[in-house]
C-alpha cells in the first residue's frame, strides 16, 4: 500500500485521451495547492404522518455526479524554441491559453521570433477546446476528462513571481494507469512534450502600467503595489435529470466573456497626472458614464525581457476607491470592452516575450 504525495506531482495536459505525442500532450509544472474534486448530488425523501406510531424513516438516493471542478496555478513562463527556423517564442502553458480562448489547439495563439501573442478572435463560440488532464502523484494517475477552462487569473503581487491560476470543469475524475490508459510518466522517451527547463520566470517587482484617458489623451502615472487580471468564460455545465439512474455530466456551453482587473497603488498628490489627479478627474466628471481608457500592463516591466503584456485598447475604468492605511492607497478597477459592440472579441491581447525574443 503506497501513499501519494502532492510533492511528487507531474501534470500533463493533452487534447487526446489516447495516442499521446509531443505535439498533442504537454507537461506543465503546477504549484502547491492544486485541487480537483467531483461531488455527488443526492435526494432525501421523508414522510410526515399523524398517529400513535408514525413512520419516521427516510430514504436517500444518489441522483447525479456533479461536474468535476479543478483549480491549479502555474508560473508565467515564456520559452524560446531555436530548433525551428525561424525561431519561435512560445510558453510552457500555451495550450491552456488556446483552451481558454478558442475551440482548437493553436486557435488563440500566434508564435513568432519576437513574441507569443494570445487574442480572443476565436473565442466567440458556444464550446471551447476540451482537454484531458493527468495528475501523476508517483504511484497513481488521475485523469480529468473533457476538461474546459472557465477562469484564468493573472496575479502580479509585487513580491512574487508572475503566475496564473486556472480553474474550470470536467465531466469525470478517473483513476488511470500510467503508460497504459494515461501518458507514460516513468518511461523514456516521453510520450508528451517535457517542460523546457530554460523557460523564463518573470519578476513582478519590475511591473509597470500605463493608463491613458481616450477622451483627452491624459496619461496617468500609476506605480503598482499589486493587482490582478481575470478572464471569465461564464461556463455552464449541463447534467441530465432522469429518474432511476445516476446521471453524469453531459457537456458545457459558454456564457458572457468577462475580462476585469484591479490595480492598487499609493495615493500620490501634488504632482502631474498622478493617482490623486485620476481620482479627482473621474469623481468630478459627472457628465461621463463610460470612462474609456487605454490600459497596458507590463508584467516584468515595459521594455524588459522577459515580460508579459496585457493590452486593452478600450477599458472602462471606475472611480478609484481610497483605502485609509498607514500610507493612503487607491484601488482602481477596470473592465476590458470590445471596440465596437457585443460581438467584438478584441477586448484584450496577451503577449509573452522571452529573454531571447528578437
Closest CA to 211 of 142, 289, 131, 265: 265
CA angle 49, 51, 52 (to 5 degrees): 130
At 15, the pLDDT band (50, 70, 90 cuts) reads very high
Residue 1 domain flag: no
Place of cell 495615493: 267
Q: What is the pLDDT of residue 149?
A: 98
Which band of pLDDT confidence, cut at 50, 70 and 90, is reported for residue 187? Answer: confident
Residue 55 resides in a domain: no
Select from 296, 289, 286 the least CA-distant residue to 263: 296
Domain assignment present for residue 51? The answer is no
Q: Per the domain annotation, does 189 fall within a domain? A: yes
Domains in the chain, number: 1
Does residue 155 sit within a domain? yes
Determine the structural domain holding residue 174 and report its residue range.
6-38+60-353
E strands in 257-328: 258-266, 292-299, 307-317, 321-323
Residue 49 forms part of a structural domain:
no
HEC profile of 129-195: CCEEEEEECCCCEEEEEEEEEEEEEEECCCCCECEEEEEEEECEEEEECECCCECCCCCCCCCCECC
The C-alpha cell that represents 307 in the structure block:
515580460
Residue 166 has pLDDT above 80, yes or no: yes
Q: Residue 265: CB partners within 8 Å, gap ≥ 6? A: 222, 223, 224, 225, 275, 329, 330, 332
Give the separation between CA 305 and CA 349, rounded to whole angstroms: 18
The answer to the question of residue 31 being in a domain is yes
In DSSP terms, which residues pair with 247 in a beta bridge? 64
pLDDT at 156: 84
pLDDT band at residue 221 using 50, 70 and 90 as cut-offs: confident
Residue range 67-96: average pLDDT? 96
Does pLDDT of 289 surpass 90?
A: no
Mean pLDDT of the chain, nearest integer = 95
Instruction: Write down the pLDDT at residue 17.
Output: 97
Q: Is residue 179 part of a domain?
A: yes
What's the pTM? 0.95
What pLDDT digit, counting tens, does each position of 331-344 carry?
999 999 998 889 89
Pairwise CA distance, residues 113 & 89, whole Å: 5
Strands 141-155 and 78-81: unpaired
**Residue among 136, 142, 143, 133 nearest 99 (CA):** 133
Amino acid at each position: 500500500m503506497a501513499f501519494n504525495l502532492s510533492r511528487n506531482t507531474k501534470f500533463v495536459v493533452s487534447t487526446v485521451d489516447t495516442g499521446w505525442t509531443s505535439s498533442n500532450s504537454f507537461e506543465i509544472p503546477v504549484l502547491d495547492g492544486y485541487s480537483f474534486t467531483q461531488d455527488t448530488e443526492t435526494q432525501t425523501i421523508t414522510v410526515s404522518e399523524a398517529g400513535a406510531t408514525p413512520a419516521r424513516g427516510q430514504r436517500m438516493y444518489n441522483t447525479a455526479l456533479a461536474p468535476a471542478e479543478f483549480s491549479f496555478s502555474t508560473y508565467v513562463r515564456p520559452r524560446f524554441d531555436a530548433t525551428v527556423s525561424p525561431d519561435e517564442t512560445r510558453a510552457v502553458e500555451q495550450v491552456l491559453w488556446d483552451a481558454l480562448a478558442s475551440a482548437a489547439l493553436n486557435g488563440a495563439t500566434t508564435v513568432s521570433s519576437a513574441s507569443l501573442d494570445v487574442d480572443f478572435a476565436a473565442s466567440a463560440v458556444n464550446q471551447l477546446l476540451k482537454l484531458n488532464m493527468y495528475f501523476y502523484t508517483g504511484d497513481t494517475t488521475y485523469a480529468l476528462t473533457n476538461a474546459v477552462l472557465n477562469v484564468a487569473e493573472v496575479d502580479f503581487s509585487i513580491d512574487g513571481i508572475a503566475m496564473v491560476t486556472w480553474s474550470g470543469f470536467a465531466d469525470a475524475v478517473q483513476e488511470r494507469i500510467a503508460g497504459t490508459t494515461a501518458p507514460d510518466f516513468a518511461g523514456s522517451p516521453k510520450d508528451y512534450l517535457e517542460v523546457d527547463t530554460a523557460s523564463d520566470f518573470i519578476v513582478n517587482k519590475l511591473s509597470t502600467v500605463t493608463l491613458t484617458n481616450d477622451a483627452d489623451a491624459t496619461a496617468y502615472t500609476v506605480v503598482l503595489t499589486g493587482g490582478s487580471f481575470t478572464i471569465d468564460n461564464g461556463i455552464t455545465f449541463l447534467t441530465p435529470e432522469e429518474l432511476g439512474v445516476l446521471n453524469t455530466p453531459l457537456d458545457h456551453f459558454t456564457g458572457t466573456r468577462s475580462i476585469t482587473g484591479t490595480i492598487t497603488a499609493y495615493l500620490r498628490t501634488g504632482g502631474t497626472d498622478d493617482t490623486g489627479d485620476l481620482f479627482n478627474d473621474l469623481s468630478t466628471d459627472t457628465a461621463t458614464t463610460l470612462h474609456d481608457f487605454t490600459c497596458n500592463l507590463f508584467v516584468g516591466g515595459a521594455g524588459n525581457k522577459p515580460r508579459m503584456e496585457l493590452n486593452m485598447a478600450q477599458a472602462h475604468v471606475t472611480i478609484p476607491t481610497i483605502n485609509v492605511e498607514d500610507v493612503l492607497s487607491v484601488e482602481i478597477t477596470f473592465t476590458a470592452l470590445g471596440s465596437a459592440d457585443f460581438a467584438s472579441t478584441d477586448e484584450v491581447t496577451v503577449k509573452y516575450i522571452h529573454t531571447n525574443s528578437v
